[in-house]
Structure 1
Amino acid sequence: MELKVSDLTVARGGIPVLENVSFTVPAGQALVLRGANGIGKTTLLRTLAGLQPEQSGQIDCPEDESAYASHADGVKSQLTVEENLRFWADVYGNQVPDTIYEQFDLVDLRQRAAGTLSAGQKRRLGLSRLGVIGRKVLFLDEPTVSLDRFSVKLFADFLQHQHLNQGGIAVIATHIDLGLDAPEMDLEPFRAAPDAAGGSDEAFL
């Protein structure tokens, strides 16, 4: 299994932002995307995840094996931590591993309503969904927003030991060092020319 991207051009609002992006990520490997704010990291991740169309190029990704996680926590405030995880597990036809609560420091919060959690606790709950959906390819957009150093380490340990070491793939846009043994890709060389041609028919949210 691998993720292969060839000569990819992606656009925001119909205007190309990155062009001729190519890389390959094999099973068990992560790729860290670097670049200034606004360069197109989110646009690239959304395109890779199939949430918006590419302008040109090729994305070869195992079918129905990818998931995208953005800044939003994606939790239902009226449900408890445990109920939120059961909801997502049911959506994907999986079970909630008991170990997920310890891995994300949620053991004492299992019966707490998500709406009563702090920003960091909600972020940990949102990220813990990645451990129940069973997807092999993860596209992660600034996943550690609102997390303290302890929680960042929890997430990095989960990503390394429970995902990558099990043959998973991750492409991560982040400004911090997660401590992963992963190559980095600077997107600056792929910035589209200011006069790059683009259409206005892109469905961008």
Structure 2
Amino acid sequence: MPVSLTVTDLSLRKGYNLLISKLNVSISSGEAVSLTGENGVGKTTLLRTLAGFQTPESGAICATENDVQIESDIWWSQHVHFLGHHDALSPARTVAQELEFQASYLGGDVTKVAPLKLQTLMDLETRYLSAGQKRRLSCARLLMARRVLWLLDEPMAPLDVAHRELLAGLMQAHLAQGGMIIAAVHDALPFATRGLRLERPAREVAGV
């Protein structure tokens, strides 16, 4: 069923700083957007806002399915995955325990994560994993519980070439199944995306 997300006149602040001013963008089933811009321009803040973790200064975020608006709480809890810089793993859990926890929390299916090739890591506590292994483990949540929108913050950064190709294939499969992706990136993703570059807004002038 066709799903779309529309952002209208969105303005975001971090502290007293206006990061994003009156942003307009939309994305529909099967589309991917590459989010670019200088460090500190607001890419992570935008992703966190779209995930429902932060409140915008102004503007609207509207998700629809078959042209029917989806309630915000339902959208964020049932239709969105956010994968940030921090991998959000418990250091004392083994990989197997972490997968079971995430599956229970998300209502997911652990058997769906096989493409990530984590089998040889199952008995290791997550504190002993490399940065790339932690990222693959974090990506498991994307596969075990289907969500239409993936919000990804530098998803390829800690991965080697082989695992970047693996993740790229999983992202393309998600799009082919009607999913949507918004990914903050420095380097271009290895498949076609629509670009959205964030620029710093003009300095605010008191009284204007």
- Residue 196 of structure 1 and its aligned partner are, at CA, apart by 5.9
Which sections of structure 1, spanning at least 5 residues, go unmatched?
A: 198-205
Matched position secondary structure for 2:172: helix
Letter in 1 for 2:94: T
Letter in 2 for 1:194: R
In the alignment, structure 1 residue 96 sits paired with structure 2 residue 110: yes
Q: What is the distance in 2 between the residues matched to 1:2 and 1:132?
A: 22
8 Å Cα contact 1:153-1:178 kept in structure 2: no
Matched position secondary structure for 1:160: helix
Query: What TM-score do the two structures reach when normalised by structure 2?
Result: 0.86
Letter in 1 for 2:144: V
Q: What is the distance in 2 between the residues matched to 1:196 and 1:19?
A: 14
Higher relative contact order (CA 8 A, sep 6+): 1
- Residue 77 of structure 1 and its aligned partner are, at CA, apart by 2.1
Percent identical pairs in the alignment equals: 37
> Superposition pairs for residues 15-30 of structure 1, below 5 Å?
15-30=17-32
Could you say which residue in structure 1 is the equivalent of 2:83? 69
Pick from 147, 160, 166: which aligns with 2:159?
Answer: 147
Q: What is the distance in 2 between the residues matched to 1:53 and 1:10?
A: 8
Could you say which residue in structure 2 is the equivalent of 1:164? 175
What is the count of residue pairs matched by the alignment?
192
Matched position secondary structure for 1:97: helix
Could you say which residue in structure 1 is the equivalent of 2:67? none
Q: What is the distance in 1 between the residues matched to 2:36 and 2:126?
A: 32
- Residue 110 of structure 1 and its aligned partner are, at CA, apart by 2.3
After the TM superposition, list the runs of 4 or more consecutive aligned residues in structure 1 that deviate by more than 4 angstroms: none
> Superposition pairs for residues 15-94 of structure 1, below 5 Å?
15-61=17-63, 62=70, 63=75, 64=77, 65-94=79-108
**1:146–1:31 CA distance, 2 compared to 1 (3 A):** same
Which sections of structure 2, spanning at least 5 residues, go unmatched?
A: 64-69
In the alignment, structure 1 residue 106 sits paired with structure 2 residue 118: yes
- Residue 137 of structure 1 and its aligned partner are, at CA, apart by 1.1
**1:196–1:96 CA distance, 2 compared to 1 (3 A):** farther
Q: What is the distance in 2 between the residues matched to 1:42 and 1:74?
A: 15
Q: What is the distance in 1 between the residues matched to 2:5 and 2:110?
A: 27
Pick from 100, 109, 128: which aligns with 1:116?
Answer: 128
Query: What TM-score do the two structures reach when normalised by structure 1?
Result: 0.87
